[in-house]
A and B are shown apart, each in its own frame.
Chain A
């Protein structure tokens, strides 16, 4: 029993950290550009698929931690340059939803065309387990959680300590004043979109050795990401981390004593409860 509890809670922490990183990307894009990026899940899938090809061609998954962000940056530039830069910011939400929904289909179908529909797998880069109260837990998952937290930490440091980070925060607060003060707002928008997309891709890259890789695996995470972003408070990075951990830990905890599907239902009820008490989110930015 102790092993089951420890396993479930540890698993909750691991997925909470990964979900937090992916959701931070989503909240960055919404907080800055007011774009609800439905294609975020497809970007996550592209990160995983890229990791597959890197692992197959170069013999090591580790290179994908560098290559996936570069690939996603290129794709994000293409998406932003082809449509989003044309002053989508400030347009009705429905417009951005439809555009990002369209890009989701395009990205998914292109991935299907190239990758195919069969599930693939990457060998575990850290095929060791750690003892956990009489049971075992994969060390790779602990690494994935730590890496996610490190990325979020680096992002917070970047936003807080660098000039570009200052521009991003300034543009988020008041883009007209920021522009008047000489901040290159269109460049900041593009950079934020790329950054958010990279976080999604990194999530897929980290998850790839833990699960099977399919062209449409983005659907597995996008709904939870939206839930986390809403409960966190739009644009709040600390809130996103807290919300992601609450969602995953609640699911993990209740999975010990009941069917995991019911446990997920309870965690969603907890999210609803939080929103009921704090409709603006846990820590609105």
Chain B
């Protein structure tokens, strides 16, 4: 089964997947989906929030200051972004001055933004889509002129970030623009975009779907294909063979995996791929850095080993 990018959905489905002896692939990026809340039936074909936080902490946060304030949507992924950022910041001497969480779909962030201390150098925000747009615009209206590091800019245009757009950074799992991809990946990403109808700036022809994230659905299908072909999977009786075929599997950048080379880590079924630092700048969402998967790998050890689980 291929799930959506909703972490809360994934957390809910994970125990049922084991119960029903059904393998699932999820794009939800909350840390614990391939951690303490996961099991051997779960595979994640995209990097997770902690890996984005590592990238954010290591490569961008140092430029932003020593004091952060965490804000996030009050569910699995929002907490994951803020909590993993705090964990990654600590060794670098970056202090999280406080954290506050709001319901998804909060209309007015003013009561939450009023709690950002004056000493904060930047905000780490675990929000997505509409909430990011509201947060960034309302922060500007309240006179907050500090950078905001968000967990995703999926489906958000530079223009909609308002006058505070150039303060927005993002640690995420794909480049919005084609030229943000490394040279070894770019030809495959270009071909993939032609097939699915995305332009080089990262939008589809209707202007309603952006490129940041949706490659995970494409690659999920090909991970399943790889597992089926290499294990000879025919029915649920072959689930263990399927899992073993993918545990530790490596893929190169290709049309099937257009976001770049990856390892499906054996212990936690977490893909280790490239992570990107994006920034809203001068009218566009630009890619400031690509942190290759092999650089993230030693910084992100697994905290579980699903191979110890029995599979029926």
Contact = CB atoms under 8 A, between A and B. Distances in A.
A220 B102 CA distance: 13
Contact of B108 (A4, A127, A136, A211): A211
B155 A138 contact: no
A7 B129 CA distance: 26
A219 interface: yes
Contacts of B207: 116
A121 B114 contact: no
Interface string B60-75: 0000000000000010
A156 B19 CA distance: 61
A220 B107 contact: yes
B110 A7 contact: yes
Contacts of B129: 118-119, 212, 214
Interface residues of A, number: 36
Interface string A126-158: 010100000111101000000000000000000
Interface stretch (A21-29, A95-103, A180-188, A252-260): A252-260
Interface string A61-105: 000000000000000000000000000000000000000000000
A117 interface: yes
B105 A260 contact: no
B161 A7 contact: no
Interface in B132-159: 132-134, 137-138, 141-143, 155-157, 159
Interface in A204-241: 207, 210-212, 214, 217, 219-221
Contacts of B107: 207, 211, 217, 220-221
Contacts of B161: 121
Given A117-B208, A119-B133, A120-B160, A261 B74 contact: yes
A210 B110 CA distance: 11
Given A121-B137, A220-B105, A11 B110 contact: yes
B195 to A, nearest CB: 21
Interface string A1-32: 00010011001000100000000000000000
Interface in B101-146: 101-103, 105, 107-108, 110-112, 114-115, 129-134, 137-138, 141-143
B206 interface: yes
Contacts of B155: 117-119
Contact of A11 (B105, B108, B132, B134): B108
15 contacts: A11-B111, A15-B108, A120-B160, A121-B159, A121-B161, A129-B141, A129-B142, A140-B141, A210-B108, A210-B138, A211-B134, A212-B137, A212-B160, A217-B130, A260-B111
